[in-house]
A and B are shown apart, each in its own frame.
Chain A
Amino acid sequence: MDLVDFARGPALKVAFVIFFIGVVWRLVNVLLLHHRRNLSEPRRGVAESVFGGLKAMGSRSWPHPEFIKRTITGEALGYSYHIGLFIVILLFAPHIIFFGSFIGVRWPALPNGVVTIFAVITVTLFVAVLFRRLAHPVLRRLSNFDDFFSWFVVALLLVTGLMATAHVGAPYPTILGLHILSFDLLLIWYPFGKLMHAFYIFPTRAVDGYLLTRKGAPS
């Protein structure tokens, strides 16, 4: 069994199982958190509070006007590389074949050259994000192993993908094997690190918005 067969075979299967066990485990943990009963008088009705929760998913995803000057760099970087990741991961032909094997559906791809340009931009933004984390006095103190390792896992995937596209570093099958292995690593790390924010971000914002609206505050 060569590296590609190992990476897209047993290693991927183990990573896939760990990913689903981990994600559901953590979601169940959060859903079953011990919540105290809210005995306060609701200022708004249930329907209005639910709408407030839905609204918060959008409003919290946009910079607050009052702090925009201080947060714009982080917000712009965050949005840019997330858009880059979306394009690189979901609109590249080989990736569509890969994900399509799991769900049975394929969708149109962007030309490889366009995806490669986005990949280069995304890697550059990733470097900028790391630099900002290290240079920013507050962010630096807030950062822990999880932040850096989560960054590393995604950056590794991007870099090995670019190396495979450009055929540099080693013969293509070796780099492709490393690229798929780095995806396996991402799947394994995903539920246990901050990458899990993809599952938490919108539900937690919705709950916050719901509670704020219930208290009569704008969401």
Chain B
Amino acid sequence: MARLELEPTIGELLDRQGVSRRSFFKYCTAMASLLALPPLAARAMAEQLLAARRPSVIYLSFQECTGCLESLTRSFAPTIENLIFNVVSLDYDDTLMAAAGAQAEQAREQAMRANYGKYLLVVDGAVPTGDGGVYHCAAGRTGLDILATCAKGAAAIVCVGTCASFGGLPSADPNPTDARAISTLVPGKPVVNVSGCPPIPEVIAGTLLQYVTSGRVPDLDEHLRPTVFFGNSIHDRCYRRPFYDQGKFAKTFDDAGARNGWCLYELGCKGPTTYNACATVKWNNAVSFPIQSGHPCLGCAEPDFWDHGSFYSPIPSPRWGKAGEVSPAQAGAIAAGAAVAGAAIGVGSVLLGRRRIARRQQEPKSQSDKGNEE
């Protein structure tokens, strides 16, 4: 608490660095635009940012590939250095920080003590819970233990990447380490999921910035993702959508349809079921995104995307069990088996019916025979 009060505001920091008012307002306008806020919000954002103190951020990594952090370091607006030096105070990140070992752990503990209840916990990677969490250990402690300790004093938790948000690859079938999403392990804590494998750098940075400027968790969808970035499906905002509507599809990766930039739906594009900002914010300073490069969307921002079958299997393809897409031979065999069973039931029911009719026809006869005898 005391440390925060001594911290300079973001405005004071920018003044010291000689950042002009004009470039700062340009930056705020760009951010407001990225967050789909009205033009007037840029001014409010600028005022908020100038007066705000940088929140302490503790960045934990569990079962992950560091792709999410690699992505974040390629953020153009705000840039990573602007983000970690001017917008937030990145007090712990075992990949980016210079300190290592006991010194790094001390830095984390010190930051947590000084900002208890106020720091922002950023997590990438799923946490293995099997066998007491022994599949991830750092500094002699399990990931489960580290998460529980750090989550306790956090104001909010931002899960970066699909592994932290939904379990991702570590929790894919058969999930040998019983890896879980962060939101399932921190009951009662406000959680924001910034999914994607990796997430778009501007979306990670934008979410952090939104938290700093507004001081609260943004509006979230049913998967706890900020609606400002995850409100539309990739399909809805895809520049190839008109081809889908016209029924023009690439059938293979090198046919005329693919060369003409037609829709990749038949090649397994998961754009219709994937909610993310790839088609609008794009990657590498808005240069391109996977579909623009000619590859179908993998659906990496959605839960369990590793377990939805082949990346190249179209969405409407039936999938029976773990075998994946249904083949005509498999469907034919099942249909033939069912038809034989149906025929057997049909013949059986007809024979039973005939026996019942024959019995009924015999009954009056035997009754009349009895009458005659009497």
Contacts and interface: CB of A to CB of B under 8 A. Distances in A.
A21 interface: yes
Given A25-B345, A104-B328, A9 B266 contact: no
Nearest to B272: A172
A17 B244 CA distance: 32
Interface stretch (B14-22, B125-133, B318-326): B318-326
Nearest to B339: A24
Given A12-B318, A101-B317, A109-B247, A2 B346 contact: no
A28 B319 contact: no
Contacts of B338: 16-21, 24
Interface string A89-127: 000011101100111100011111100000000000000
Interface in B77-106: none
Contacts of B343: 24-25, 28
B317 A28 contact: no
Interface in B277-305: 302-304
A20 B335 contact: yes
A98 B317 CA distance: 5
B191 interface: no
A107 B275 CA distance: 30
A112 B245 contact: yes
Contact of A113 (B245, B314, B315, B339): B245
Interface in A141-181: 167, 171-173, 176
Contacts of A172: 233, 235, 272-273
Contacts of B222: 171
B44 interface: no
Contacts of A2: 303-304
Interface in B211-252: 221-222, 233, 235-236, 244-247, 249
Contacts of B316: 8, 94-95, 97-98, 101
B350 interface: yes
Interface residues of B, number: 48
A8 B349 contact: no
Nearest to A91: B247
Contacts of A13: 320-321, 334
Nearest to B263: A93
Interface of A: 1-2, 4-5, 8-10, 12-13, 16-29, 32-34, 93-95, 97-98, 101-104, 108-113, 167, 171-173, 176
Given A34-B357, A98-B317, 11 more contacts: A1-B304, A9-B319, A10-B320, A20-B338, A21-B342, A32-B347, A101-B316, A102-B331, A113-B246, A172-B273, A173-B273
Interface of B: 221-222, 233, 235-236, 244-247, 249, 265-266, 272-273, 275, 302-304, 307-308, 314-321, 325-328, 331, 334-335, 337-339, 341-343, 345-347, 349-350, 354, 357
5 contacts: A10-B321, A17-B337, A29-B346, A98-B318, A111-B247
Shortest Cβ-Cβ A-B pairs, 5 listed? A28-B346, A24-B342, A20-B338, A104-B328, A21-B342
